[in-house]
Amino acid sequence: MTHNGRTVSILGVTGSVGQSTLAVIEELRGQGADIPVEAVTAGRNVAGLVDACRRLKPRFAAVSDPSLLSAAREALASLNVAVGAGPSALEEAGARPADWIMSAIVGAAGLAPTMAAVRRGALVALANKECLVCAGPLFIEAAKTHGAMLLPVDSEHNAIFQVLTHPERVEKLTLTASGGPFRTVSLEAMARATPAEACAHPRWNMGRKISVDSATLMNKGLELIEASYLFGFSSKSIDVIVHPQSTVHSFVHYVDGSVLAQLASPDMRVPIAFTLAWPDRAAVSAARLDLGQLGQLTFEAPDAARFPALALCRTALGTGAAATTALSAANEIAVQAFLESRIGFLDICRIVEDALSDLERAEAGLIAKTPSSFDEVAVVDQAARLAAQRIAGSLAAA
Ligand code: NDP
């Protein structure tokens, strides 16, 4: 089956990836494809959810905030859609029978609803990288056990997936990074950066959390962890290179010296359409590459001194799965504190590093071992959030 006739659900329909997914579905429906929608979810954006329901006509819609249930029911009363709220409703959205599901909730909040889809062996289009960073080995194992197909949406991982013809003959992977808004900005200026400046990404229009992650290069570090869990390569076999044009989305280096890459304009509709039509391809109207106009593609090494997040992520990956859980959780807290102007930009990585050190000191047993259940993942996640909150609080008070 290709996209025509595929029933779909979208977790996080009101976000940047969710809206691009909606646009792809509308475009393919406009070409005559039959793409019924089973479920859509939002966090607190009821107006956005209503708009998505009008356009997609799902059977079920959910908001994450339980206090918004009656507001959502009222707003959706004229549409023929069942409405739910809270964690169980989000999980129901994942569990409902869609062939293909877009996992585009931001942060660890996306894990449980995505797992509900994994457990029923769905095609899972995975934008939410935090699922993998938070619970990588367990998540991958569950996908294997239940026969779920993980289709990476992150443009770098999607690119690798597209050219990973001989996984057992790969020498290394190279993830490309745009470099974010502070690629050429001094450390002094970065120290003074505002949330608006950090969110002004030069190439991609994304949600606020991933935009800040791109500015610190934590996003690339999270992607390195994501690639390691998803494709089964160690940190040593994954390089990162800054490529400001965001045209080559990654490289796969083979043992015979061949290097394969996927190129496209920086538009999330390209990887989304790829996953929706997989194993076929679908026609979407994303801007075509004009190589003559592009002229040059450039590459440069990331600056480890200004962007310590990459090394933090490599270290966590080397330490083990509990460390990547803790890193992702601490980063979520630090980014939120920065977005609320409680801490400075450079404090983000400081908080993540200190939270991990605190956990290693105080709860060495917790961070050293690989979580053997999602409950254990939740314990590590919570401990890291508390440590990061404590450190962010003392930095804000200083
Ligand atoms: P956005 O912030 O734009 O959207 C996030 C979505 O999640 C919204 O629908 C939001 O609802 C919902 N949401 C927020 N908090 C919760 C919660 N606690 N429980 C349930 N739902 C919640 O993010 P993006 O679309 O930019 O990113 C989504 C994911 O995709 C991230 O993991 C990101 O790393 C990844 N990704 C994004 C890319 C991009 O280009 N944007 C590229 C590659 C990966 P509401 O609108 O109501 O707040």
> Which pLDDT belongs to residue 357?
95
d(CA 84, CA 275) in angstroms, rounded, equals 27
In the β-sheet with 259-263, what is the strand arrangement from edge to edge? 238-242, 170-177, 248-254, 259-263
**In angstroms, rounded to a whole number, what is the distance separating the alpha carbons of residues 343 and 392?**
7
Cα of 104 vs centre of ligand 1, distance in Å, is 5
Predicted confidence (pLDDT) per residue in 120-133, tens digit: 999 999 999 999 99
pLDDT given for residue 78 in this prediction: 96
Entry pTM: 0.97
Residues near ligand 1 (Cβ within 6 A):
12-18, 42-45, 48, 64, 90, 104-106, 109, 127-130, 154, 204, 206-207, 209-210, 268
DSSP string, 175-220: EEE---TTTT--HHHHHT--HHHHH--SS----HHHHHHHHHTHHH
Q: Name the residue type at position 396.
A: A
pLDDT score recorded for residue 362: 83
Which pLDDT band, with edges at 50, 70 and 90, does 45 fall under? very high
Mean pLDDT across 232-259:
97
Calculate how far, in angstroms, residue 19's C-alpha sits from the geometric centre of ligand 1: 10
Q: What local confidence, expressed as pLDDT, does residue 383 receive?
A: 95
- pLDDT above 90 for 398: no
pLDDT higher than threshold 90 for residue 109: yes
Q: Which among 203, 334, 269, 325 has a CA at the least distance from the CA of 25?
A: 269
| Buried/exposed 64-98: b ≥16 CB within 10 Å, e otherwise | beeebbebbbebbeeeebebbbbeebbbbbbbbeb
Tens-place pLDDT, residues 320-368: 999 999 999 999 999 999 999 999 999 999 999 999 999 999 877 788 8
Rounded distance from Cα 107 to ligand 1 centre (Å): 7
pLDDT at 366: 83
Res 346: pLDDT: 98
* Ligand 1 center–CA 187 separation, angstroms: 29
Cα(363)–Cα(356) distance, rounded to whole angstroms? 10
Atom of ligand 1 nearest to the CA of 155: 43
